């Protein structure tokens, strides 16, 4: 009788860094611009990094066909989108729905941030602080200074900064408009998400985290467990991926790390052309993975800023290879590109053309000038 043979599963396919780059760019709408609406794009991307007020607009310009900044601004004004602390305990622009469901789901990094201020909160009842804050900011949106002064009347011996951080960490607060509107300015004024939107957040079931992982893979995949955790600011999510494993594909990167992906998600040919894209500081495509080499070459790690100053990033052939900033001289907006590696003549021409198009839409200057030069010294 012949001996039985046992089939072994084929090892997962290995995806090169370039293959990961093209897959991520495609899902980030950076391989080709998308005709989707601003609201649909904010939903698809699971929010836009909004540490400053202008970057969300530049993120959408880089991704959408015929983007008009007024479209996102209108969403903010109508309260269909809000600026609130969420992923990694940093400010993001989210749709109203995500502000009510996703933000409570990613509270853990806010809790960790709060622990770092515990010395300044000795003797402070955090439950009461949350209640005092909620009542105060729901009476009317409050500037941060007013909120801090109100909290000091209750806890005069506490550290003022720690009190305001605690309020931000304990409650889902939004920065109300006109802050964040295109072409407008305004100081930070805060109220609760639920009060601003006029509806309550529902407790997030376990399935919400599963759905968030799937949405993440749809916008940032293929990705590892650690990639997801770095993006969300969460820990201990391996069991979520294991629960989802039967419905996912698995790969390995060139370092042997296991990657998960949606079966029907695009994974373009690694040689697919990638046009230059001008990204603002803190674009999530630069921050959405634990291993960022799929977008940031090792040689350029940490080179999109220096100290506390961060500049715009230029993707050349899909990878971070230049920086940019805009200065004004009278009515002229001057965009300076600092390359990190000598571009080809064709790449230089493409960057110039893309920069000029962006300046026409994204500045109110009457004249524009694109220059190549150096504004950041790395000392090497």
Distance, in Å, from the CA atom of 98 to the CA atom of 103, rounded to the nearest integer, reads 7
DSSP per-residue codes, 284-345: GGGTS-SSGGGTS-GGGTT-SEETTEE-EEEEETTEEEEEEEEEEETTEEEEEEEESSPPPH
Q: What pTM was computed for the model?
A: 0.94
pLDDT tens series, the chain, 380 aa: 455 555 555 677 999 999 999 999 999 999 999 999 999 999 999 999 999 999 999 999 999 999 999 999 999 999 999 999 999 999 999 999 999 999 889 899 999 999 999 999 999 999 999 999 999 999 999 999 999 999 999 999 999 999 999 999 999 999 999 999 999 888 999 999 999 999 987 766 656 899 999 999 999 999 999 999 999 999 999 999 999 999 999 999 999 999 999 999 999 999 999 999 999 999 999 999 999 999 999 999 988 877 677 899 999 999 999 999 999 888 899 999 999 999 999 999 999 999 999 999 999 888 999 999 999 888 76
Tell me what pLDDT residue 3 has: 52
Tell me what pLDDT residue 244 has: 97
Distance, in Å, from the CA atom of 10 to the CA atom of 370, rounded to the nearest integer, reads 51
Distance, in Å, from the CA atom of 339 to the CA atom of 299, rounded to the nearest integer, reads 13
Distance, in Å, from the CA atom of 242 to the CA atom of 336, rounded to the nearest integer, reads 47
What does each C-alpha distance from 73 to 69, 184, 248 come to in angstroms?
A: 6, 10, 37
What does each C-alpha distance from 295 to 2, 56, 287, 288, 321 come to in angstroms?
A: 52, 19, 10, 10, 10
Distance, in Å, from the CA atom of 205 to the CA atom of 207, rounded to the nearest integer, reads 5
Ordered strands of the 258-261 beta sheet: 14-15, 249-253, 258-261
Tell me what pLDDT residue 7 has: 52
Distance, in Å, from the CA atom of 274 to the CA atom of 293, rounded to the nearest integer, reads 16
What does each C-alpha distance from 210 to 136, 191, 228, 239, 311 come to in angstroms?
A: 35, 29, 12, 10, 34
Both tokens of 137, joined, read: 């900011």
Distance, in Å, from the CA atom of 340 to the CA atom of 305, rounded to the nearest integer, reads 12
Both tokens of 54, joined, read: 């202008």
Neighbours of 326 (CB within 10 A): 16
Tell me what pLDDT residue 377 has: 83
Cα end-to-end distance, the chain, whole Å? 71
Tell me what pLDDT residue 239 has: 96
Contact 251, 15 (CB under 8 A): yes
Exposed/middle/buried for residue 162 (C-beta within 10 Å: 0-12, 13-18, 19+): buried
- Which runs of consecutive H residues, i.e. helices, occur in the chain? 17-27, 38-44, 55-61, 69-77, 96-105, 108-115, 126-139, 144-154, 160-170, 193-197, 206-220, 225-232, 238-244, 345-362
Length of the chain: 380
Tell me what pLDDT residue 10 has: 65
Q: Using CA atoms in the order 220, 225, 226, 232, what is the torsion angle rounded to 10 degrees?
A: 60
Distance, in Å, from the CA atom of 157 to the CA atom of 82, rounded to the nearest integer, reads 33
Question: What's the alpha-carbon Rg for the chain, to the nearest Å?
Answer: 23
* Residue whose token pair is 């950076």: 30
Max Cα distance, the chain (Å): 91
Distance, in Å, from the CA atom of 173 to the CA atom of 193, rounded to the nearest integer, reads 5
């Amino acid at each position: 009788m012949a001996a039985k043979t046992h089939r072994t599963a084929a090892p997962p396919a290995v995806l090169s860094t370039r293959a990961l780059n093209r897959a991520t760019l495609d899902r980030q709408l950076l391989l080709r611009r998308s005709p989707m609406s601003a609201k649909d794009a904010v939903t698809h991307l699971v929010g836009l990094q909004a540490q400053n007020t202008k970057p969300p607009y530049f993120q959408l310009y880089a991704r959408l066909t015929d983007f008009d900044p007024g479209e996102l601004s209108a969403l903010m004004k109508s309260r269909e989108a809000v600026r609130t602390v969420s992923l990694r305990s940093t400010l993001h622009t989210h749709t109203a729905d995500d502000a009510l469901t996703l933000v409570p789901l990613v509270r853990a990094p806010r809790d960790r941030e709060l622990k770092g201020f515990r010395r300044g909160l000795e003797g402070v009842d955090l439950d009461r602080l949350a209640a005092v804050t909620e009542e105060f900011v729901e009476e009317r949106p409050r500037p941060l200074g007013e909120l801090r002064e109100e909290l000091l009347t209750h806890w005069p011996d506490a550290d003022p900064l720690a009190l305001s951080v605690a309020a931000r960490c304990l409650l889902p607060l939004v920065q109300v408009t006109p802050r964040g509107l295109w072409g407008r300015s305004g100081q930070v004024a805060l109220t609760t998400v639920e009060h601003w939107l006029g509806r309550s957040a529902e407790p997030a079931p376990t399935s919400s985290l599963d759905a968030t992982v799937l949405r993440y893979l749809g916008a940032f995949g293929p990705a590892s467990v650690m990639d997801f955790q770095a993006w969300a600011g969460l820990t201990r999510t391996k069991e979520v991926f294991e629960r989802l494993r039967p419905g996912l594909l698995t790969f390995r990167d060139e370092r042997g790390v296991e990657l998960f992906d949606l079966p029907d998600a695009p994974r373009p040919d690694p040689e697919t052309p990638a046009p230059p894209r001008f990204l603002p500081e803190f674009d999530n495509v630069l921050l959405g993975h634990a291993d960022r080499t799929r977008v940031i070459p090792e040689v350029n790690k940490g080179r999109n800023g220096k100290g506390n100053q961060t500049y715009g990033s230029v993707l050349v052939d899909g990878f971070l290879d230049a920086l940019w900033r805009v200065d004004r001289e009278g009515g002229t907006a001057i965009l300076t590109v600092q390359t990190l590696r000598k571009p080809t003549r064709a790449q230089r021409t493409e960057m110039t053309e893309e920069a000029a198009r962006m300046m026409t839409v994204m500045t109110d200057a009457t004249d524009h000038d694109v220059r190549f030069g150096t504004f950041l010294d790395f000392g090497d």
